[in-house]
Amino acid sequence: MSFLDHIERCNAHDLTQFRPWFIGPTRVGWVHRDFAALLGGRPDLFTRRGEGWSLTEELATPAARTTEVAAFLDDLRRDGWFAGWRDERYPVTPDLKRPALMAMERAAVPFFGIRAFGVHLTGYVRRQDGLHIWVPRRARGKATYPGMLDNTVAGGQPEGIGLMDNVVKECREEASIPPELARQAMAAGAITYCHQAGMELKPDVQYVFDLELPSDFVCRSNDGEAESFELWPAAEVMARVRDTFDFKYNCNLVLIDFFVRHGLIEADDPDYFAIVAGLRRHAFGPNVPVRS
């Protein structure tokens, strides 16, 4: 195995299985050809648009779209769709600088191939023998990826909150990091990927943050999403990422990026450029050309 294997795994998808999904003139996502059959059963909400699908233009405001689509999704949930329903809505937008066209339940977002955003923070400590990283293990009872290793703090980006405020919230909830300490986190870039799991497509963006923690601070779970925290030497974390699938799949990318930025993966590494480029492979969405 290698670090590149994780990058390839996170970007594995077959876009020929999907059809574009629009709100007005904007392509906001992709629907799997099998899931599209459900859209076809609701012509009052979804209409054909060439090879793709469009939300009806009769829903002319973000609020109206959110309300009507939420009722449709709730019907599907009662039919057994969408494991891990959160009652948490994500903004539907290709870019956080643009106003959201609507909001959608988090669990349904991948079925519409909508770009989701998240914040992922690496909490680390400097010691005489080098960097150490706080590594949590996800609770065994979590609906998604139970028992796997995770980033120190990570959470999706819901509607109605800024990125830094979300970092502070997630730090408190997941690792008992107080706000005055969490606000010292440094924005360190963003990672993009496009991952397919069956009918789900995740062309996502992870905003990356670093937080140097005091040597005597101990991360502890506050909301029960992590069953434990351990402080590992960075070299041990690197080996676990490189040689195993023990970390939740996208958390590997955050840690690889940390290794690059902190000089733990050196420029003379033969895979260095491929790693750096691979961490931002789908910055403009899957198979979307960059416009000059």
Is the entire prediction scored with pTM above 0.85? Answer: yes
**Structural contact between residues 210 and 188, judged by C-beta atoms closer than 8 angstroms:** yes
* Number of residues written out for the chain: 292
List C-alpha distances in Å: 147 to 123, 152, 162, 195: 20, 14, 29, 21
pLDDT over 70, % of the chain: 97
Per-residue model confidence as pLDDT tens digits over 199-208? 999 999 999 9
CA distance 150 to 169: 17
Q: What is the pLDDT of residue 141?
A: 85
Residue type (1 letter), 28: V
Per-residue model confidence as pLDDT tens digits over 33-84? 999 999 999 999 999 999 899 999 999 999 999 999 999 999 999 999 998 8
Residue type (1 letter), 149: L
Per-residue model confidence as pLDDT tens digits over 166-200? 999 999 999 999 999 999 999 999 999 999 999 99
Map out the domains of the chain with their CATH numbers: 3-12+116-278 (3.90.79.10), 17-112 (3.30.750.160)
Tell the residue number behind the tokens 């691979």, with chain if given. 278
